[in-house]
């Protein structure tokens, strides 16, 4: 664990979902490629999809289709992706090792927690209920009323729902988008090295600490 944080007491932790709590890469890649095949486009490798993730599914599909594809065609591919992913989002997805024990310990300590994701809101809620039953106080995803990360809207909505204060809230994520979001929201950013981006990306994005195992988060509280 790379730890540079000064000692502060925290009572709220906000978690990114994809690449932080859940390894969703294979299911996302499968649904991306289903949509691409359905629309007659070349498919993408899992590593390509990994690089495309982080700014919501609309951006994911825009990056996945051939360069120069017009917006109407991108929207068609996106709807195809959404329909497939809704029915197949848990085929291969699972929590990273150590995540469930961490969440259970946070709950035992009375730490408030929420999921903040650029995945569409209904999917976030479904995954939270099915993968982490009773372990989160709130879950927020992409919606018409909240701008996606790196805008701070989703973070602010979660903090309002929890009655959280910025100075006592940690933001935990795996990407440069998360780092920018945390900065925009005025929160301390903890990067996780097991997700979809490399450590150097997290550090460049402003991570005040980078952890290698979920249990290391407890030392920051």
Does the pTM exceed 0.95? no
Active site residue 26: no
CA atoms within 13 A on the CB side of 191: 27
SS3 177: helix
Residue 203 DSSP symbol: H
- How much is the pLDDT for 120? 85
- How much is the pLDDT for 56? 84
The edge-to-edge listing of strands for the beta sheet with 169-173 is: 2-3, 209-211, 188-192, 169-173, 12-15, 112-120, 138-142
Active-site residue, from 11, 16, 26, 70: 16
SS3 18: strand
Give the containing element (helix H, strand E) for 117: strand 112-120
The series of mean pLDDT values per 10 residues for the chain, 221 residues long, is 65 97 96 98 97 89 97 97 95 97 98 94 92 97 90 96 97 96 97 94 95 97 93
């Amino acid at each position: 664990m790379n730890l540079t944080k000064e000692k502060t007491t925290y009572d709220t932790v906000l978690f990114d979902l994809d690449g932080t709590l859940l390894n969703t890469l294979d299911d996302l890649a499968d649904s991306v490629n289903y949509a691409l095949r359905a629309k007659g486009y070349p498919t993408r490798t899992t590593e390509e999809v990994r690089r495309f993730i982080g700014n919501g599914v609309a951006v994911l599909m825009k990056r996945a289709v051939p360069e120069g594809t017009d917006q109407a065609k991108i929207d068609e591919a996106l709807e195809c992706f959404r329909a497939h992913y809704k029915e197949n989002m848990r085929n291969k997805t699972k929590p990273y090792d150590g995540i469930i024990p961490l969440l259970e310990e946070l709950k035992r300590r009375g730490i408030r927690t929420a999921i903040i994701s650029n995945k569409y809101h209904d999917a976030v809620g479904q995954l939270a209920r099915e993968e982490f039953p009773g372990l989160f106080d709130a879950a927020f995803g992409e919606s018409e009323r909240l701008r996606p990360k790196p805008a701070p809207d989703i973070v602010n909505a979660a903090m309002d729902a929890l009655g959280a204060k910025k100075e006592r809230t940690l933001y935990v994520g795996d990407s440069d988008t998360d780092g920018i979001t945390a900065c925009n929201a005025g929160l301390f950013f903890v990067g996780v090295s097991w997700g979809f981006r490399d450590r150097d990306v997290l550090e460049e994005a402003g991570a005040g600490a980078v952890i290698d195992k979920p249990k290391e988060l407890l030392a920051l509280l």
